[in-house]
């Protein structure tokens, strides 16, 4: 196992997940139960790992033959060099290329390189493309490493830190003070994961809203007081983890009762669907993703308060 992890770049934990869930290889066993990998199996694992660094999930490529994986990686290499140099025209979207560059930087644990790629992408791509395609894709790799099989925990921390810095900059620079459309974003008590909240805050700032981002684990009273102070037109609660928490349901009810009826309460995040009952009971609104969030913001802007 140590030899395999050293030669492929995979951790032992991720390798076991790939074998159990996707059957990527079937190693033999010694009499004592230790795995035995052939050179061909190690090469296949190495190719699979490299292919995931271009943004593909292991589930999509696990069944490809080794020759097919080699061909796929040749296409990737051609896409990263000018067509005039290679004679190959292989179209890959700019956002997909950015994700691939980010993942290669993560694999090398290149902190400066990852930050540079994200900063350039935030400028070169539209806000919607950058947030929805680049950032969300990277965060999915961090949030479900056992399913995607491309990041170790240490690499995940690197991605989270880099993304947090870029989103914080977007919120600060894109938010329009005095825009007349004030939005407050926070997470309630018990919700300490903040990247979902920062994503919607950055998306709203890019849409021309004046955004106040409060951070995580705030009481309903504090959120309501802040919303009143900035004369918020809407409040967005981000619910990522844990799901189905009774205390969070109470906070949703409490916050809605404290906010003026004219203030729209939007609820989003990875765990938000598990609070559908509290959202419905309070007359709040659930937004499923960033696209739905933008649509709702646009609707509010078109209608007088």
- pLDDT of 82: 45
**CATH no. of 2-86:** 1.10.1660.10
Is it the case that residue 302 has pLDDT exceeding 90? no
Domain boundaries, the chain: 2-86, 94-171, 176-302
Q: Is the pLDDT of residue 25 over 80?
A: yes
Residue 177 sits at the vertex; the CA angle it makes with 172 and 178, to the nearest 5 degrees, is 165
How far, in Å, CA of 198 to CA of 167, rounded? 6
Q: Which of 24-33, 185-194, 244-253 has the lowest mean pLDDT?
A: 24-33
Pick the CATH number of 176-302 from 3.40.50.2300, 2.60.40.10, 3.40.630.10, 3.40.50.280: 3.40.50.280
CATH architecture of the domain formed by 94-171: Orthogonal Bundle (1.10)
> What is the Cα gyration radius of the chain?
22
Q: Tell me how many degrees the CA angle 261-262-267 measures, rounded to the nearest 5.
A: 80
State the pLDDT confidence band at 90, using cuts at 50, 70 and 90.
very low
pLDDT at 179 > cutoff 70:
no
Instruction: Note the pLDDT tens digit of each residue in 117-163.
Output: 999 898 888 888 999 989 988 877 665 553 445 556 777 788 889 99
Averaged pLDDT score across all residues of the chain: 85
The answer, as to whether pTM is greater than 0.75, is no
pLDDT at 31 over 80: yes
Domains 94-171 and 176-302 fall in the same CATH topology: no
């Amino acid at each position: 196992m140590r030899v395999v992890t050293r030669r492929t770049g995979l951790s032992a934990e991720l390798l076991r997940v790939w074998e159990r869930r996707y059957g990527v290889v079937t190693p033999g066993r010694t009499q004592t139960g230790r795995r035995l990998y052939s050179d061909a199996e190690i090469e296949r694992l190495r190719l699979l790992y490299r292919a995931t660094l271009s943004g593909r999930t292991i589930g999509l490529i696990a069944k490809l033959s080794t020759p097919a994986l080699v061909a796929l990686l040749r296409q990737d290499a051609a896409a990263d060099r000018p067509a005039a140099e290679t004679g190959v025209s292989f179209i890959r979207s700019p956002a997909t290329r950015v994700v691939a560059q980010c993942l290669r930087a993560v694999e090398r644990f290149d902190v400066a390189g990852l930050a540079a790629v994200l900063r350039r992408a935030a400028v070169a791509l539209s806000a919607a493309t950058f947030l929805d395609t680049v950032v969300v894709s990277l965060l999915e790799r961090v949030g479900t490493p056992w399913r995607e099989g491309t990041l170790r925990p240490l690499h995940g921390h690197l991605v989270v830190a880099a993304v947090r810095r870029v989103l914080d900059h977007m919120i600060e620079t894109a938010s329009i003070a005095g825009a007349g459309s004030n939005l407050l974003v926070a997470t309630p008590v018990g919700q300490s994961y903040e990247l979902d909240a920062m994503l919607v805050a950055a998306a709203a700032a890019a849409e021309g809203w004046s955004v106040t981002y409060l951070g995580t684990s705030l009481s309903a009273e504090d959120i309501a007081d802040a919303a009143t102070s900035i004369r918020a037109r809407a409040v967005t609660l981000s619910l990522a983890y844990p799901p189905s928490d009774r205390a969070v349901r109470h906070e949703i009810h409490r916050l809605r009762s404290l906010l003026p009826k004219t203030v729209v309460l939007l609820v989003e995040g990875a765990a938000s669907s598990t609070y559908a009952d509290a959202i419905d009971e309070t007359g709040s609104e659930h937004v499923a993703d960033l696209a739905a969030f933008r649509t709702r913001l646009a609707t509010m802007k078109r209608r007088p308060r």
